[in-house]
Amino acid sequence: MPIITNVRTILTAPEGINLIVVKVETDQEGLYGLGCATFAYRELAVKSVVDDYLKPLLVGRDTNKIEDLWHLMHHNAYWRNDAISNNAISGVDMALWDIKGKIANLPVYELLGGKSREGVPYYRHVNGKTLSEIVDKIEVYKKQNVKHIRIQWGLYGGIAKDLNTPKNSEPGIYSNPTQYILDTLRMFEYVRKECGDEIELIHDIHERLSPKDAIYLAKQLEKYRLFYLEDPFSPEQADYIANIKSQCTTPIAIGELFNNPKEWEYLIKNRLIDFIRVHISQIGGFTPAKKLAIFAEQFGVQTAWHGPGDVSPVGHAANVHLSLNSHNLGILEWCGFSDLMYKVFPGMPYEENGYLYVSNKPGFGIDIDEELAKKYPHQTNVTKWTQTRLPDGTLVTP
């Protein structure tokens, strides 16, 4: 019965993105676990919850009681289901699963019932300033046997041109919804013509459009046979998904901003979405994510866990383990990492011929070189990319 002796956060940024890893240590020599608590834009708040509140709550408790400890952490603050608390809980929760796998001498996916597949298909991101640049990048991935690619012309909200903003307008990242819609349709027409129909294409609106504009774009994109259209609406406007489903067949994915079951329950049980895309640490860790995957399976909804650069490699490992097990895997987002990240986080998942694989070591099979991680400290700055505005200066969801 391993007992928790310490819980601590490790903050690092080897690629310039703040990452938060939680390390749970035990009274058994050499036995510890790692978990992802990455909320890149509020990292100090998450660190405080872990170090100042969860550590005193958990030291002296049995690591085997993952389910009970998750609920203990979830209920302990009374107010719950927020991004900061959930990420803090996730860091501990994943670390406990990592420890459980090490005790059993099994990879975590084996604790869930084993593999449904040997490798996990993934998609990569393509963004470009020109259409030819986008196609060139797609061709590179096609040669690597990557069959699913997300395409963006100018990243989220497109490339704003010839903006006429009011005088004294506030600074921010400005976008023009009309330009963005028209450019996106041009992009898909061009890419399908140049790259063919076999490649599976994804696009992320990133909640940058009004509901009426998002519905219009979803209808216009139907003829290009998307694998899915991501985040056409913010969570607050998710009821509008029913409007899309009643008017076109474009598959819909949503969820990276979700915090709790009430945000996905209605959408899944009414079959209004095709893919659930939560950020696993955002909903509280591996324990709620495995329950979500099983719930979604009952309604034919597939998983596509959030996996950009602001998920730590530990979080990516958890994504892959859950995807290896879940029968209803759709696709997995994978941003790719530098050689440096593989040195800081030995045992990271790796890509080969269009699939992701894990190390098959016990637990999540990943570790952290803490001394090397210290050489790349986190930076607490004002987040700028979320300060998005319409041409008249109105702030909009990022």
Segment 235-279, tens digit of pLDDT: 999 999 999 999 999 999 999 999 999 999 999 999 999 999 999
Q: Please say if 357 is a catalytic residue.
A: no
Handedness of CA 290, 296, 302, 304 (dihedral sign): negative
Q: Token digits for 299?
A: 């309604």
Catalytic residue among 156, 174, 180, 228: 156
Q: Token digits for 296?
A: 């979604």
Question: Which residues make Cβ contacts (< 8 Å) with residue 270, sequence separation at least 6?
Answer: 242
Each residue's pLDDT tens digit, 230-241:
999 999 999 999
- Indicate the angle between helix axes 286-297 and 261-269, nearest 10 degrees: 10
- The Cα–Cα gap between 337 and 206 comes to 23
Catalytic residue among 74, 148, 206, 321: 206
Share of the chain above pLDDT 70, in %: 100
- Give the per-residue pLDDT at 155: 87
- Indicate the angle between helix axes 211-221 and 177-195, nearest 10 degrees: 20
Share of the chain above pLDDT 90, in %: 99
258: left (phi over 0), alpha (psi -120 to 50) or beta: beta
Q: Please say if 156 is a catalytic residue.
A: yes
Fold of 110-360: TIM Barrel (3.20.20)
Q: Token digits for 205?
A: 């609106």
Domain-by-domain residue ranges, the chain?
4-107, 110-360
| Per-residue tens of pLDDT for the chain, all 398 residues | 899 999 999 999 999 999 999 999 999 999 999 999 999 999 999 999 999 999 999 999 999 999 999 999 999 999 999 999 999 999 999 999 999 999 999 999 999 999 999 999 999 999 999 999 999 999 999 999 999 999 999 989 999 888 999 999 999 999 999 999 999 999 999 999 999 999 999 999 999 999 999 999 999 999 999 999 999 999 999 999 999 999 999 999 999 999 999 999 999 999 999 999 999 999 999 999 999 999 999 999 999 999 999 999 999 999 999 999 999 999 999 999 999 999 999 999 999 999 999 999 999 999 999 999 999 999 999 999 999 999 999 999 99
- Give the per-residue pLDDT at 162: 87
Tell me whether residue 329 is exposed, middle or buried, using C-beta atoms within 10 angstroms of its C-beta: 0 to 12, 13 to 18, 19 or more. buried
Q: How far is CA 325 from the centre of its chain?
A: 18
Please name the CATH architecture into which domain 4-107 falls: 2-Layer Sandwich (3.30)
